[in-house]
Amino acid sequence: MVEYRVGIDLGGTNIVAGVVRHDSKKNEYEIIAKAECKTAIPRPEADVCDSMADVVKKAVKKAKLTMDDIAYVGIGVPGAVNPETRIVETSPNLFFKNWEVSKMMEERLHKYVKIENDANAAALGEFLAGSAKGCKNAVAVTLGTGVGGGIVIDGKIYSGSNFAGAELGHMVIVKGGKKCGCGRCGCWEAYASATALINQTKDAIVNEKAEFSYMLDAVDGDLNNVTGKTAWDAYLAGDSTGKEVIDNYVSYLACGIVNVINIFQPDVLCIGGGVSRQGENLLAPVRAIVEAERITKHNEKQTQICAATLGNDAGIIGAASL
């Protein structure tokens, strides 16, 4: 049986909707069309819903389908999401609380709308169709505006008794450290997200003492042009300041990953989000630190650390499969 669903990945930077073709007989998931726009927060809930509805309709049109062909819509939302009440209880990166997003989207699309935490949706996507396919236990870490976490145990999403579990980005790795968007200090998210990497890059450029700054020149002297790739490009070009930024970033990322592996011991831990596009340039040094520091370093069976093979599509497939 073939069914068409829509998955929405609602991020702090972009909104992406994809039409997913699910062949239940072959157990295959295929994104046949996508559309996207900027999230452009902060702005009212209704405006964000308008944008999501718009990209859904554009994606469905690209797929040469109509909304009548769509079985249902799923949304991955950052923050504490209650799939039973279908309410986003809190989303620090979107600045929303008790957001009745399913109800608002159903009014716009006239389709049943399910919701889940975005990282949980990405983990489900990887479990169903990506790097964790066939595994019993898996963890997905998403490095984007924040640090998202999704946990699959015995084939099911783990979200805790209050649907706020797996917020891995909000474990503290530096006591009394940098202020996080959640209000706490020293969270992993404040050090290992793409946003954190951008901020670390800007700080390094400002504090650089050299007469010539590779990274400052690369952004045409404007810190507003710094992206998550700026320090990586400098590092790969042999720039010492870029190397320092990346070495520090990798150490923060690996610190959190060691904690996650020590607690959950998954078969696979996959890393997604924009930073993961660095591939082995990121994964190899992370693995080296993890191998030296994990509690199970002498065990025969070890957690496989890999890139999320579906990339940003994981959240779309997972949301469409709720």
Q: What is the pLDDT of residue 21?
A: 96
| Contact present, 74 and 121 (Cβ < 8 Å) | yes
pLDDT over 80 (residue 172): yes
Question: Is the backbone peptide bond immediately before 42 cis, with ω within 30 degrees of 0?
Answer: yes
- pLDDT > 70: percent of the chain: 100
CA dist 137 and 213 (Å) reads 45
CA distances from 85 to 8, 34, 75, 179 (A): 18, 28, 14, 31
Residue 81: what residue type?
Answer: V
Q: What stretch of H or E contains 4?
A: strand 2-10
Strand order from edge to edge, sheet including 268-272: 156-157, 147-153, 138-143, 268-272, 304-307
CA dist 23 and 3 (Å) reads 7
pLDDT over 80 (residue 210): no
- 3-class SS of residue 240: helix
Average pLDDT over residues 197-206: 97
Tell me the CATH architecture of domain 2-127+313-319.
Answer: 2-Layer Sandwich (3.30)
Pick the closest to residue 270 from 195, 282, 56 (CA basis): 282
The pTM for the full model equals 0.81
Q: Tell me: the pLDDT tens digits for 213-224?
A: 999 999 999 999
Q: What is the pLDDT of residue 297?
A: 86
pLDDT over 90 (residue 34): yes
Q: Tell me: the pLDDT tens digits for 219-256?
A: 999 999 999 999 999 999 999 999 999 999 999 999 99
CA angle 126, 129, 133 (to 5 degrees): 70
Q: What is the pLDDT of residue 12?
A: 86
**Pair of tokens at residue 44:** 């009212």
- Between β-strands 80-82 and 70-77, what pairing exists: parallel, antiparallel or unpaired? unpaired
Other Cβ atoms less than 10 A from the Cβ of 120: the count is 29
- Do the domains at 2-127+313-319 and 134-307 have one common CATH topology? yes
CATH number of this structure's domain 134-307, picked from the four choices 3.40.50.300, 3.90.1150.10, 3.40.190.10, 3.30.420.40: 3.30.420.40
159-163, 172-176, 308-312: range with highest mean pLDDT = 172-176
| Contact present, 66 and 119 (Cβ < 8 Å) | no
